[in-house]
């Protein structure tokens, strides 16, 4: 921990600033997994598990949440920046393996992780001060939750965005039910069901990121953000706009789904997942057949949960969505497919999960309805 403090110290002008940083440093464990620095009037959060692609665990959540609350109240903090350590990822998702083990053992982590993660997502979504997520690298699942609800999200050419949860027996959570249906046309539903990956500038084009800045400009952008004096949201937006204007990389490249946008809107406009599958098979184009193949690999239960989550979420506030998603998370913890999906994709890596039920027709409306029902006293409280 002293190393972290010393490396910060040379950038700080006085011993009293150094003391403040020491106050912000948490336990040794979290002090290594998530770093908090106060640089000038900016609070900087660094997700620091580069070997694990900065995957978010409960310890990190439990340190980020109170720190954000403190900075929101602190008159000497004007802005918060969140970034990931290393070259590869902002945050590749939640620490799903730990949750799986807890769920199997009946450990409370399976409730605590989702509850506290969603409370953190809501804190970011309602943050009063400018919040800037530098999503330079892989940003999936839990990493999306740490960024997409904040006011500013800066993608680079290295950013890879996806919500691949239907492939592990889960659903695109962390407020996916809020931001996905608000993307253009049926794009959000398409991304939610298929786990399709977007890269670089395309992430900004669809509105998941607010800005696109070349990766080699990020260090200088961060410095300029920190140097802003008492910035308002419009000051931050202006600075980010100016960096985006200097970033011409891939500007000529068309949007990856440009030619399929009309087909996505048409094929994914349906009253059920079964209807979407019929639309795709009937269409018969190479794109449609590829989506049929992709969806056939996903958990049928997850597809149906996700379809309804996106439908319902379109009419809900972020808070209502998170309450709904907490119910769904606990239904997945009680079920079969989440454990099987994690086994097949992350543990044994045989990529051939045995879903139960194995077909869409095997997933009853009643089973889905139960997943959305209230948990009473155990519901998420925001």
Give the SS3 label for residue 75. coil
Helix 233-245 to helix 218-227 angle, to the nearest 10 degrees?
150
Specify whether the CB–CB gap between 103 and 155 falls below 8 A: no
Residue 256: Cβ-neighbour burial (10 angstroms; 0-12, 13-18, 19+): middle
> What is the CATH classification number for the domain harbouring 283?
3.90.226.10
Q: Report the pLDDT value the prediction gives residue 345, as an integer from 0 to 100.
A: 95
2 domain residue, yes or no: no
DSSP strand pairing (42-47 vs 34-39): antiparallel
9 domain residue, yes or no: no
Maximum separation of any 2 CA atoms in the chain, in Å: 70
Give the SS3 label for residue 91. strand
| Strand ranges, E, within the chain | 34-39, 42-47, 79-84, 89-91, 131-135, 138-140, 152-155, 160-162, 198-199, 211-212
Specify whether the CB–CB gap between 176 and 166 falls below 8 A: no
20 domain residue, yes or no: no
Q: Report the pLDDT value the prediction gives residue 14, as an integer from 0 to 100.
A: 40
Integer Cα distance of 64 and 305 in angstroms: 30
121 domain residue, yes or no: yes
For the question of residue 94 being annotated catalytic, the response is yes
The whole model's pTM is what? 0.91
Non-local CB neighbours of 350 within 8 Å, separated by 6+ positions: 344
For the question of residue 142 being annotated catalytic, the response is yes
Catalytic residue, chosen from 43, 84, 93, 94, is 94
Q: Measuring CA to CA, which residue among 169, 118, 134 is closest to residue 327?
A: 118
Catalytic residue, chosen from 173, 202, 325, 337, is 173
313 domain residue, yes or no: yes
Catalytic residue, chosen from 33, 78, 117, 165, is 165
Alpha-carbon torsion (271, 206, 302, 333), positive or negative: negative
Number of domains making up the chain: 1
Residue with tokens 């403090």: 5
For the question of residue 173 being annotated catalytic, the response is yes
Q: Would you write out the chain's pLDDT as a tens digit for each of its 382 residues?
A: 443 333 444 444 444 443 443 344 333 455 599 999 999 999 999 999 999 999 999 999 999 999 999 999 999 999 999 999 999 999 999 999 999 999 999 999 999 999 999 999 999 999 999 999 999 999 999 999 999 999 999 999 999 999 999 999 999 999 999 999 999 999 999 999 999 999 999 999 999 999 999 999 999 999 999 999 999 999 999 999 999 999 999 999 999 999 999 999 999 999 999 999 999 999 999 999 999 999 999 999 999 999 999 999 999 999 999 999 999 999 999 999 999 999 999 999 999 999 999 999 999 999 999 999 999 999 999 9
Annotate 298-337 with DSSP letters as a single string: S-HHHHHHHHHHHHHHTTS-HHHHHHHHHHHHHHHHHSSH
Q: Report the pLDDT value the prediction gives residue 13, as an integer from 0 to 100.
A: 41
Number of residues that this document lists for the chain = 382
What separation in angstroms does the CA of 134 have from each of 41, 139, 184, 286, 351? 18, 10, 23, 35, 31
Q: Report the pLDDT value the prediction gives residue 31, as an integer from 0 to 100.
A: 58
8 domain residue, yes or no: no
Give the SS3 label for residue 268. coil
Catalytic residue, chosen from 43, 84, 103, 142, is 142
12 domain residue, yes or no: no
370 domain residue, yes or no: yes
For the question of residue 200 being annotated catalytic, the response is no
Q: Report the pLDDT value the prediction gives residue 200, as an integer from 0 to 100.
A: 98
Provide the domain limits for residue 126.
32-249+256-378
Residue with tokens 């199997």: 104
């Amino acid at each position: 921990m002293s190393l972290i403090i010393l490396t910060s110290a040379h950038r700080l002008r006085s011993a009293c600033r150094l003391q403040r940083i020491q106050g912000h440093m948490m336990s040794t464990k979290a002090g290594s997994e998530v770093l908090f620095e106060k640089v000038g009037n900016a609070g900087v959060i660094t997700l620091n598990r580069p070997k694990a692609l900065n995957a978010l665990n409960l310890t990190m959540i439990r340190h980020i949440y109170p720190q954000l609350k403190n900075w929101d109240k602190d008159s000497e903090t004007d802005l918060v920046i969140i970034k990931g350590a290393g070259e590869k990822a902002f945050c590749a998702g939640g620490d799903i393996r730990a949750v799986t083990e807890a769920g199997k053992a009946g450990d409370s982590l399976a409730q605590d992780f989702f509850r506290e993660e969603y409370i953190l997502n809501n804190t970011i979504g309602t943050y009063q001060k400018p919040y800037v997520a530098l999503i330079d690298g892989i940003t999936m699942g839990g990493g999306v939750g740490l960024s997409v609800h904040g006011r500013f999200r800066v993608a680079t050419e290295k950013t890879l965005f996806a919500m691949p949860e239907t492939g592990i027996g889960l659903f695109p959570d962390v407020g996916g039910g809020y931001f996905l249906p608000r993307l253009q046309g049926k794009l959000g539903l398409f991304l939610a069901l298929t786990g399709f990956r977007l890269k670089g500038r395309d992430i900004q084009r669809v509105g998941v990121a607010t800005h696109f800045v070349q990766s080699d400009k990020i260090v200088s952008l961060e410095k300029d953000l920190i140097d802003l004096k008492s910035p308002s949201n419009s000051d931050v937006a202006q600075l980010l706009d100016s960096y985006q204007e200097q970033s011409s990389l891939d500007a000529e490249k068309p949007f990856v789904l440009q030619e399929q946008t009309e087909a996505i809107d048409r094929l994914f406009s349906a009253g059920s997942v079964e209807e979407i599958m019929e639309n795709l098979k009937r269409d018969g184009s190479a794109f449609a057949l590829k989506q049929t193949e992709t969806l056939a690999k996903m958990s049928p239960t997850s597809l149906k949960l996700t379809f309804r989550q996106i439908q319902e979420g379109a009419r809900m506030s972020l808070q209502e969505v998170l309450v709904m998603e907490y119910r769904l998370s606990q239904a997945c913890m009680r079920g079969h497919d989440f454990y099987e999906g994690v086994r097949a994709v992350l543990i044994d890596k045989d990529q051939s999960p045995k879903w139960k039920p194995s077909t869409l027709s095997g997933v009853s409306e009643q089973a889905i309805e139960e997943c959305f029902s209230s948990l009473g006293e155990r519901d998420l409280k925001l």
